[in-house]
Amino acid sequence: MAKLSYLKALSRALNDEMARDEHVCVLGEDIGVAVNNVTTGLLAKYGPQRVVDTPLSEQAFTSFATGAALAGKRPVIEFQIPSLLFLVFEQIANQAHKFSLMTGGQAKVPVTYFVPGSGSRSGWAGQHSDHPYGLFAHVGVKTVVPATPEDAYGLFLSAIRDDDPVVLFAPAQALGVRADVDIAALDAVPLGVGRVHREGTDVTVVAVGHLVQDALAVAEQLADQISVEVFDPRTLYPFDWAGLAASVHKTGRLVVIDDSNRMCGIAGEILATAAEEMRLTVPPKRVTRPDGAVLPFARELDLAVQPHADQLLTAIQEVYKSSPR
């Protein structure tokens, strides 16, 4: 076993996939020198035809990747900050995503939009701290948020190999996570399949991305009072509803923690689906950023807006104690 960091896992996945498939190429700003440390060494290894440092032209290079994909390439775009996805929403949601249906299945657009450093990086303030995965899940673009190094590796591989556009969010606060993994056993993780990180019988906690680590810590903290099951969807779209149902049918209680805005967020969707289709014995709860939040600069304010482990702990206790309806 070796220690593997989440960031190194992403880098390894991209490297392995470029070695395996000559059609895989990577585009983005500052990727030649690997400012985010994911594309380290790729330019020297694969050359400027496959590792393309782009001008600051997000809208053009995003649709450029669509054109390249229509012509047979499998581009990966690295976005240096998550908010750039707002700038290219047209190019992803309205162009790349719609080509397959609008052409009656003539076209496929296998582009991966990859955001290493999504969500809050302390001190980056309002325009660099969003976590807009819910927008993509809403329009139906395949949306992936890995929580662990081995999942970061495996899901990145699957995203690149997928024949549709896929957005992969690597939360800033997960990049430093390290795990003991058998490097030789690393493999693709299918999209749309969740993962139970810890089994429990009293409350199901759905945690997205880096919050899986928080959820596991809280579950451990509560271990002598409440048996908490931690479910990581890994892919937000398509969502593993069957996996979640299996967990909820066991526990009957549900709490969701998600680092995006509350209104129309993914946590609301999970609660709604559970309420419609699963056997909840008590009302569920969610821990999220506030409605319509914009992350303020000062550390204290930034932290005040993000969902926290202590809020999760309280929510689990409340759900556990609440009366069956």
Residue 66 touching another protein (CB under 8 A): yes
- Complex with another protein: residue 94 or 201, whichever CB lies closer: 94
Shortest Cβ 139–another protein spacing (Å): 11
Instruction: Please confirm, yes or no, whether 128 is among the known catalytic residues.
Output: yes
**CB-CB neighbours of 63 under 10 Å:** 17
Residue 274 touching another protein (CB under 8 A): no
For the chain, the C-alpha Rg in angstroms (whole number) is 19
Q: Which stretch binds another protein (CB under 8 A): 10-18, 35-43, 62-70, 288-296?
A: 62-70
- The DSSP output letter for 183 is G
Residue 162 touching another protein (CB under 8 A): yes
Q: Give the Cα separation of 295 and 172 in Å (integer).
A: 14
- Complex with another protein: residue 46 or 320, whichever CB lies closer: 46
**What's the token pair of residue 260?**
């995006």
- Please report, as residue ranges, which positions from 211 to 250 form the binding site for another protein (by CB under 8 A): 238, 241
Stated as kind and residue range, the H or E segment containing 155 is helix 149-161
Residues in the interface with another protein (CB under 8 A) total 44
Residue 15 touching another protein (CB under 8 A): no
Q: Give Cα 69 to chain centroid, integer Å.
A: 22
- Number of helices and strands in the chain (H, E): 13, 14
Question: ω into residue 238 within 30 of 0, thus cis?
Answer: yes
3-state secondary structure of 53: strand
User: Cα separations (Å) of 122 from 115, 240, 300?
Assistant: 17, 31, 10
| Spatial contact of 120 and 129, defined as CB atoms under 8 Å apart | yes
3-state secondary structure of 12: helix
Q: Which stretch binds another protein (CB under 8 A): 119-127, 159-167, 175-183, 220-228?
A: 159-167
Residue 112 touching another protein (CB under 8 A): no
Residue 49 touching another protein (CB under 8 A): yes
- Please report, as residue ranges, which positions from 184 to 203 form the binding site for another protein (by CB under 8 A): 192
Instruction: Determine which residue in the list 2, 44, 55, 321 makes contact with another protein, applying CB under 8 A.
Output: 55
Residue 100 touching another protein (CB under 8 A): yes
Residue 95 touching another protein (CB under 8 A): yes
Stated as kind and residue range, the H or E segment containing 157 is helix 149-161
Instruction: Determine which residue in the list 9, 10, 69, 280 makes contact with another protein, applying CB under 8 A.
Output: 69
Instruction: Determine which residue in the list 1, 2, 72, 323 makes contact with another protein, applying CB under 8 A.
Output: 72
Q: Give the Cα separation of 107 and 177 in Å (integer).
A: 38
Residue 292 touching another protein (CB under 8 A): no
Residue of 97, 128, 131, 197 marked catalytic:
128
Tell me whether residue 210 is exposed, middle or buried, using C-beta atoms within 10 angstroms of its C-beta: 0 to 12, 13 to 18, 19 or more. Answer: buried
Instruction: Determine which residue in the list 103, 127, 201, 225 makes contact with another protein, applying CB under 8 A.
Output: 103
Residues forming contacts to another protein in the complex (CB under 8 A) are: 49, 54-55, 57, 59-73, 75, 90-91, 94-95, 99-110, 140, 142, 162-164, 192, 238, 241
Active site residues: 128
